[in-house]
A and B are shown apart, each in its own frame.
Chain A
Amino acid sequence: EDQVTQSPEALRLQEGESSSLNCSYTVSGLRGLFWYRQDPGKGPEFLFTLYSAGEEKEKERLKATLTKKESFLHITAPKPEDSATYLCAVGGGATNKLIFGTGTLLAVQP
């Protein structure tokens, strides 16, 4: 059974303090690993897709990396507007069916 585990559950950073969020996964065959951002009271918003070990994607202060067992979302010099819940998911393919982790709640204080 496909499984996704995210850590930590919550993370509090000072503005400018870089850190990483972890997503470990067990799947029978990885079709894709996906990162989403969710703001309070809203639906998740797509950030990145990673397909193979060694792949990296960047967007502003965020960089996602992938190994055979886990993915990291690195946040460089975060700002308060980066505060959100970050969700990791595995799946994809023809049906787009995704299995989500429970997320990391990130709070960046000014």
Chain B
Amino acid sequence: DVKVTQSSRYLVKRTGEKVFLECVQDMDHENMFWYRQDPGLGLRLIYFSYDVKMKEKGDIPEGYSVSREKKERFSLILESASTNQTSMYLCASGQKNTGELFFGEGSRLTVL
């Protein structure tokens, strides 16, 4: 079975702290994604990557950066966390030319 593992299920951080969210997939997928999910707004794409060291902005990249140094690992970085970044963060991976994404269980981040 495809597995997408997110490093932390729950995090509590303070405003201004740097936050790392890590995601690892074990199916050699080319494409990886970071979404955030908020009530009433659904899933919104932050960044995605279609190859090692390649990244593209999604719909809401402001305040976030990403890193993909290895094919299986995709990290989301909040350089200076703010309260409006309190959310559920979901990582996903998939083979290109399919719409079948495999999601991790999510990381719920609270910024105080």
Contact = CB atoms under 8 A, between A and B. Distances in A.
B105 A94 contact: no
A34 B43 CA distance: 14
A101 B44 CA distance: 9
The dominant DSSP class at the B interface is strand
A91 B99 contact: yes
Interface string B1-44: 00010000000000000000000000000010101000011111
Contacts of B94: 96
Contact of B96 (A41, A94, A102): A94
B90 to A, nearest CB: 5
B100 A93 contact: no
A42 interface: yes
Contact of A43 (B50, B58, B92, B100): B92
A100 B43 contact: yes
B45 interface: yes
B104 A43 contact: yes
Interface in A45-94: 45-46, 49, 87, 89, 91-94
> Which of B4, B56, B101, B104 has the largest number of chain A CB atoms within 10 A?
B101
Nearest to A50: B99
A97 B48 CA distance: 8
Contact of B4 (A43, A87, A93, A103): A43
A102 B41 contact: yes
Nearest to A102: B42
A49 B98 contact: yes
Contacts of A95: 31, 48, 50, 56, 96
A80 to B, nearest CB: 22
Contacts of A102: 40-42
B57 to A, nearest CB: 11
A92 B99 contact: yes
B106 A92 contact: no
Contacts of B74: none
A99 B104 CA distance: 18
16 contacts: A42-B106, A43-B105, A44-B43, A44-B101, A46-B102, A87-B42, A87-B43, A92-B98, A93-B96, A96-B48, A96-B94, A96-B96, A96-B98, A96-B99, A96-B101, A102-B40
